[in-house]
């Protein structure tokens, strides 16, 4: 059984992974609508990867007697200035 403090910390990380996944989805969609197919595929795949991180933590918390929460996610920017801007955010 995991303690409440660890459960809360892992739920915070679950939220961070969900928000990363959502941000990369926004970047993928932005790139796709501008014809940057390779960049778009890259960010779709990054988005999937972050979701997998989130799911691993969800399963981990629940398997150890905690309760993983499905977090609210922030709405990412719909607009990016350019590819450089996208990759600056990605790298930060």
Nearest residue to Fe ion on Cβ basis: 53
Q: Which is nearer to Fe ion, 53 or 85 (CB)?
A: 53
From CA 34, how far away is CA 12, in angstroms rounded?
33
* Residue showing tokens 């990016």: 80
24 or 80: CB nearest Fe ion? 24
* Residue 81 beta carbon to Fe ion: minimum distance, rounded to whole angstroms: 25
| Residue ranges binding Fe ion (CB under 5 A) | 17, 50, 53
Residue 83 CB burial class (10 angstroms; 0-12, 13-18, ≥19): middle
- Of 19 and 77, which CB lies nearer to Fe ion in the complex structure? 19
Q: Is 9 helix (H, G, I), strand (E, B) or coil?
A: helix
């Amino acid at each position: 059984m995991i303690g409440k403090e660890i459960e809360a910390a892992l739920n915070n990380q679950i939220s961070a992974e969900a928000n990363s996944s959502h941000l990369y989805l926004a970047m993928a969609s932005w790139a796709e609508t501008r014809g940057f197919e390779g960049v778009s595929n890259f960010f779709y795949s990054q988005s999937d990867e972050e979701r997998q991180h989130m799911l691993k933590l969800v399963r981990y918390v629940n398997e150890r007697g905690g309760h993983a929460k499905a977090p609210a996610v922030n709405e990412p920017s719909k607009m990016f200035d350019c590819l450089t801007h996208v990759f600056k955010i990605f790298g930060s």
